[in-house]
Amino acid sequence: MMKLTTPNGKASEEVIQSFELENNLKLPVVYREFLKENNGGETEPSLFRISESEGVSVLNSLYGLGDMYENLQDFLEIYDERLPNGFIPIGNDPGGNVICVATKGKQADQVYFWDHEAETEEPNDMANVYFLANDINEFLSNLFEEAEG
């Protein structure tokens, strides 16, 4: 059972709407609810499988909104024009790779892994992006403690 070890409280509807207006985007429904309830944090367990070929990584933290170190706004600016269009960074692993959520189209709410070591000059090239889950809740429920056999 996944638990947040350092939740950042709750993000209010006003804070979420302000973030959306400032960044000209609409957060997908399930991720929006996650922010309202938890607003990011660190998890236990924290391991996740990227893919069969890429193996396992560690969820370092999930970003939140407001006055905090792991601020979603800061990371949105850091990865601006680096992530594929319609993707926002919502967390990271210790290696500097990014956990993303899709904000548009049929992919909205889906969670992906963006491998910074395989980053290309063309941000919309999806060669370094791996599907993880249909939404943040599914992603969190798939976290595990030790390497799978």
Residue 149: predicted pLDDT: 52
Tens digits of per-residue pLDDT, 10-51?
A: 999 999 999 999 999 999 999 999 999 999 999 999 999 999
Residue type (1 letter), 138: E
Would you tell me how many other CB atoms lie within 10 Å of the CB of residue 30? 18
pLDDT over 80 (residue 81): yes
| C-alpha–C-alpha distance, residues 11 and 31, integer Å | 12
Does residue 44 sit within a domain? yes
Does residue 48 sit within a domain? yes
Residue 148: predicted pLDDT: 52
Question: pTM score, two decimals?
Answer: 0.94
Does residue 149 sit within a domain? no
State the greatest distance between any 2 C-alpha atoms of the chain, in Å, as a whole number.
45
Does residue 66 sit within a domain? yes
Residue 132: predicted pLDDT: 98
Q: State the number of CA atoms in the 13 A half-sphere of 143 facing the CB.
A: 21
Residue with tokens 């992906």: 112
| C-alpha–C-alpha distance, residues 54 and 51, integer Å | 5
% of the chain exceeding 70 in pLDDT:
97
Does residue 148 sit within a domain? no
Does residue 126 sit within a domain? yes
The residues, ordered by sequence, that sit 6+ positions from 91 with a Cβ below 8 Å of its Cβ are: 40, 59, 60, 61, 62, 63, 98, 99
Structural domain including 102 reads 3-142
Total domain count for the chain? 1
Question: What are the tokens at 107?
Answer: 């992919």
pLDDT over 90 (residue 8): no
- pLDDT confidence of 4, banded at 50, 70, 90? confident
Q: State the number of CA atoms in the 13 A half-sphere of 99 facing the CB.
A: 30
pLDDT over 60 (residue 55): yes
pLDDT over 80 (residue 1): no
Does residue 147 sit within a domain? no
State the CATH number of the domain containing residue 91: 3.40.1580.10
Tens digits of per-residue pLDDT, 108-149?
A: 999 999 999 999 888 788 999 999 999 999 999 999 998 555
Give the residue among 58, 61, 52 at the shortest CA–CA distance from 131: 52
Question: What are the tokens at 81?
Answer: 């024009």
Does residue 56 sit within a domain? yes
